[in-house]
């Protein structure tokens, strides 16, 4: 292993350390290319072949990461509306009375401030939480078919 081979391994190490500070995985994919270049040097390929192999492996790795779920940015970056962040989103509650789009409702054993989402009616029997605005639940009217299927499944659960 000559000085060119050392370049590949030092470069891979630097990229891996840099990846630890960024957390994006893209630098790790490029480090795979550098490792492939180092392996090509150990196999006795010339510098041009080493660079070609390193480039191909790095490009294929970056493309594979980009196409994977890990390479995609979150489609719902707003934590107030993200059910992965706020487990209350999607849950159902009943609201007894509204006053200018605001109310108080019992949810999870406590009284919560509730705000009606824009354009939603105040006449629904059940509401679904669509977001959290601080300590206020933002709700939307739940459709009749969803309400009926939920009540029938809950009655089934009570009997079994």
Q: Are strands 110-116 and 92-93 parallel, antiparallel or unpaired?
A: unpaired
- Parse the chain into domains and list their residue ranges: 3-67, 79-143
Mean pLDDT of the chain: 83
Average pLDDT over residues 134-148: 76
User: Contact, 92 vs 105, CB < 8 A?
Assistant: no
Q: Cα dihedral angle (28, 78, 128, 147), rounded to 10 degrees?
A: -40
Q: Which residue has the higher pLDDT, 74 or 47?
A: 47
CATH topology of domain 79-143: OB fold (Dihydrolipoamide Acetyltransferase, E2P) (2.40.50)
Strand, helix or coil for residue 88? coil
For 19, the token pair is 């990846």
Strand, helix or coil for residue 57? helix
For 108, the token pair is 């999870």
135 band by pLDDT with thresholds 50, 70 and 90: confident
pLDDT digits (tens, 9 = 90+) for 10-22: 999 999 999 999 8
The single residue listed with the structure tokens 């490009």 is 59
User: Contact, 141 vs 127, CB < 8 A?
Assistant: yes
- Phi, psi (degrees; rounded to nearest 5) at 117: -65, 150
For 96, the token pair is 């007894």
Q: Which residues pair with 107 in a beta bridge?
A: 110
DSSP label at residue 108: T
């Amino acid at each position: 292993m000559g000085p060119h081979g050392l370049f590949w391994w030092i470069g891979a190490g630097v990229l891996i350390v840099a990846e630890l500070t960024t957390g994006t995985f893209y630098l790790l994919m490029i480090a795979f290319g550098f490792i492939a270049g180092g392996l090509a040097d150990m196999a006795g390929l010339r510098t041009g072949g080493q660079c070609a192999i390193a480039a191909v492996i790095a490009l294929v790795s970056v493309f594979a990461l980009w196409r994977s779920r890990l390479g995609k940015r979150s489609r719902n970056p707003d934590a107030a509306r993200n059910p992965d962040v706020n487990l209350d989103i999607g849950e159902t509650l009943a609201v007894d009375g509204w006053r200018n789009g605001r109310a108080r409702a019992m949810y999870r054993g406590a009284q919560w401030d509730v705000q009606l989402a824009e354009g939603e009616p105040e006449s629904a029997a059940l509401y679904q939480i669509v977001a959290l605005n601080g300590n206020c639940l933002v709700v939307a009217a739940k459709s009749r078919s969803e309400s009926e299927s939920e009540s029938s499944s809950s009655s089934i659960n009570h009997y079994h």
